């Protein structure tokens, strides 16, 4: 099914900004003082265009801080009046939308847990109908691109055109280097399917700590994402939620200065010519790869025929172990990563088995 969103570019509602667009603020608004002092410090950095703070907090476990609730709305209004930054908060139901709108919140976001539930997303979409507000949709916690796109479509079909997607990583059973695995391939696919959709990365929730924030932020810039949402707290050590991943406004400024900006194009004819040349070589090699794969599968068909005539099994595990071991050591000699070789040959082998099964079962 064709996917189409009717979106207005961010600069049309935010004004001109330099990429990456920076959204920052504490994980949670905790007190008026903490919210305003964080905002005042952040506002000194002109790069920060949108101030974020959660007031209704979805927490994984009960009995943890669940946000200050409605009280935080007036603090956000003060932030806007005092600093001029736009304000953003998370909503999880229609009532939240009504309240945020009433208090002049400029941008709302749908959190990762809420984005997994089409009932909740639809309720939010219904409350948004007829309103002029920007909406950011985080990826669902599970790596399901259709579910993410479905949530974006529901919001768009409610008439909201100021739409942004937020990439905050995906949870997994095994604990890896990051709190939430980035799975960049999903972001790349989303960009391919919806080139006009602005995508902002949320390195704070991907990382879960401060250590890798710069690395993930740079990765997002290298993939030409539109912006970064980074949590910042006036005193992270005392934060009531996500204390390990929040930077002070000064640390944030320092980290942003260290990021290397990238342009989509170099606007330089020599660069374009050289890139074209290299890309031509890649196209040619891909063509050769496909041709070789086609030939390889033809030999597989011959083998299937031969095995069938001689009543021999399709899978011969000894041969398969031999293949994978030989390919891994050859790959290593060519500086190809074992994981890559493994996945590639598993796929090729799977296809060979499918082809042989089809031929064997044909009468
Ligand atoms: C947040 O942004 O504070 C938050 C709760 O994020 P997520 O929905 O990505 O977990
Ligand atoms: Mn958080």
Ligand 1 site-directed mutation target among 24, 35, 58, most atoms within 8 Å of CB: 58
Range(s) of the domain holding residue 130: 10-258
Buried b (16+ CB within 10 A) or exposed e, 193-222: ebeebbbbbbbbbbbbebebbbebbbbbbe
If asked whether residues 231 and 308 sit together in one domain, one would say: no
96 neighbors 57 (Cβ within 8 angstroms): no
Count of domains observed in the chain? 2
Residue 4, in any domain of the structure: no
Q: Decide the pairing of beta strands 21-25 and 86-91.
A: unpaired
Do 118 and 18 sit in the same domain of this protein?
yes
What is the 114 CA–ligand 1 centroid distance (Å)?
Answer: 10
Instruction: Note the pLDDT of residue 91.
Output: 98
Q: Domain for residue 24, yes or no?
A: yes
DSSP state of 164: E
How far, in Å, CA of 7 to CA of 143, rounded? 24
Is there a single domain that holds both residue 62 and residue 36? yes
**Cα 84 to ligand 2 centre (Å):** 23
Q: Does residue 278 share a domain with residue 235?
A: no
Ligand closest to the CA atom of residue 208: 2
* Ligand (nearest to CA of 89): 1
Burial of 45-68, coded b for 16+ CB within 10 Å and e otherwise, reads bebbbbbbbbbbbeeeeeeeebbb
Within a 10 A sphere around the Cβ of 42, how many other Cβ atoms? 26
Q: Which atom of ligand 1 is nearest to the CA of 168?
A: 9
Distance from the alpha carbon of residue 54 to the mean position of ligand 1, in angstroms = 8
162 phi and psi angles, rounded to 5 deg? -85, 85
The CATH number given to whatever domain includes residue 353 is 1.20.59.10
Buried b (16+ CB within 10 A) or exposed e, 314-348: beeeeeeeeeeeebeeebeeeeeeeeebeeebeeb
The CATH number given to whatever domain includes residue 207 is 3.20.20.70
Do residues 87 and 164 share a domain?
A: yes
Cα→Cα distances 356→306, 343, 360, Å: 10, 20, 6
| Probe residue for ligand 1, chosen from 66, 109, 111 as the CB with the greatest number of ligand atoms within 8 Å | 111
Distance from residue 6's CA to the centre of ligand 1 (Å): 25
Q: Whole-prediction pTM value?
A: 0.86
Q: Each residue's pLDDT tens digit in the chain (363 positions)? A: 789 999 999 999 999 999 999 999 999 999 999 999 999 999 999 999 999 999 999 888 898 999 999 999 999 999 999 999 999 999 999 999 999 999 999 999 999 999 999 999 999 999 999 999 999 999 999 999 999 999 999 999 999 999 999 999 999 888 889 999 999 999 999 999 999 999 999 999 999 999 999 999 999 999 999 999 999 999 999 999 999 999 999 999 999 999 999 988 888 899 989 999 999 999 999 999 999 999 999 999 999 999 999 998 888 889 999 999 999 999 999 999 999 999 999 999 999 999 999 998 887
Quick one: pLDDT at residue 304?
92
The answer to whether residue 280 is domain-embedded is yes
- Say how many Å lie between the CA of residue 355 and the centre of ligand 2: 48
User: Ligand 1 pocket, 179 CB below 6 A?
Assistant: no
Rounded to whole angstroms, the Cα distance separating 29 from 258 reads 28
Task: Judge if 285 and 237 occupy the same domain.
Answer: no
Name the closest-CA residue to atom 6, ligand 1: 111
Q: Record the tokens describing residue 323, joined without a space.
A: 């293949």
Same domain (yes/no): 234, 273? no
CA–CA distance, 187 with 235 (Å, rounded to integer):
32
């Amino acid at each position: 099914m064709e996917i189409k969103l009717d979106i207005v570019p961010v600069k049309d509602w935010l004004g001109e900004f330099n990429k990456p667009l920076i959204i920052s603020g504490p994980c949670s608004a905790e007190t008026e003082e903490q919210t305003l002092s964080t905002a005042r410090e952040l506002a000194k950095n002109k790069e920060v265009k949108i101030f974020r703070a959660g007031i209704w907090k979805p927490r994984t476990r009960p009995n943890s801080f669940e946000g200050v609730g409605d009280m935080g709305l007036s603090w956000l209004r003060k932030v806007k009046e005092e600093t001029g930054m736009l304000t953003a908060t998370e909503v999880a139901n229609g009532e939240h939308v009504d309240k945020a709108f009433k208090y002049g919140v400029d941008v709302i976001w749908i959190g990762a847990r809420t984005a997994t539930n089409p009932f909740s997303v639809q309720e939010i979409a219904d409350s948004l109908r007829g309103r002029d507000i920007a909406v950011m949709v985080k990826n669902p916690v599970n790596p399901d691109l259709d579910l993410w796109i479905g949530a974006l479509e529901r919001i768009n079909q409610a008439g909201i055109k100021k739409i942004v997607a937020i990439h905050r990583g995906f949870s997994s059973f095994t604990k890896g280097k990051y709190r939430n695995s980035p799975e960049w391939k999903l972001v790349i696919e989303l960009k391919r399917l919806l080139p006009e959709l602005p995508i902002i990365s949320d390195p704070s929730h991907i990382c879960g700590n401060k250590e890798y924030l710069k690395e993930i932020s740079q990765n997002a810039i290298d993939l030409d994402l539109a912006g970064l949402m980074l949590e910042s707290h006036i005193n992270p050590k005392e934060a009531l939620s996500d204390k390990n991943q929040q930077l002070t406004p000064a640390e944030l400024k320092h980290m942003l200065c260290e990021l290397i900006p990238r342009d989509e194009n170099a606007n330089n004819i020599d660069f374009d010519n050289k890139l074209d040349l290299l890309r031509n070589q890649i196209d040619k090699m891909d063509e050769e790869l496909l041709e070789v794969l086609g030939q390889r599968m033809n030999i597989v068909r011959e083998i299937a025929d031969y095995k069938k005539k001689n009543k021999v099994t399709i899978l011969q595990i000894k041969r398969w172990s031999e293949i994978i071991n030989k390919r891994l050591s050859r790959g290593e000699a060519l500086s190809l990563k074992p994981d890559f070789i493994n996945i590639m040959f598993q796929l090729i082998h799977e296809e060979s088995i499918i082809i042989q099964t089809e031929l064997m079962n044909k009468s």
